[in-house]
Structure 1
Amino acid sequence: MFYFYALPALPFLVLAVTFSLGLVLGSESANRDRRLVGAVIVGGYVMLVAAAFGFFWPIYTSEILTFGQWRARIWLNSWI
């Protein structure tokens, strides 16, 4: 079930995450080591989000899953 009441908050969530990743990355005037560490952290976060999206892709696209595959994607009992 899709909850429409959460929809107006989504753009603000995206902006908040983008702003936070920009702060972690550091400003252009920051030294090279600071920017490198920030880039590694931001890149790791983006890769983690992409992996989670790929893991849940069969649910987003309503593909047929075996019970074991479906159960692996249900992390919390309240999701059932």
Structure 2
Amino acid sequence: MKTLIVAATRAEIATLIAHFKLPEDNFLPNENFDVLITGVGMTATAFSLGQHLSKKYNLVLNLGIAGCFDRNIELGK
């Protein structure tokens, strides 16, 4: 099963990157999973996903805070 792990920033998945000793890049291919760092915001995410979803993935996971439309909601709530 091939999985794509998506995050806006490296900081959101720093533990995962360190654990698997992945290189410093925005697209990190691996045997069982790929990691995509999209950049912050809907436009950056849509653009990055558009470039990489032509590959076949069985599962796509978005890790990190995943943003919010309501600026009145504090982070962590």
- Do they fold alike, i.e. is TM over 0.5? no
Q: Which has the higher contact order (CA 8 A, sep 6+)?
A: 2
More strand by proportion, 1 or 2? 2
Please identify which structure carries the higher helix content: 1
User: TM-score, structure 1 length as denominator?
Assistant: 0.20
Rg bigger for which structure?
1
What TM-score do the two structures reach when normalised by structure 2?
A: 0.20
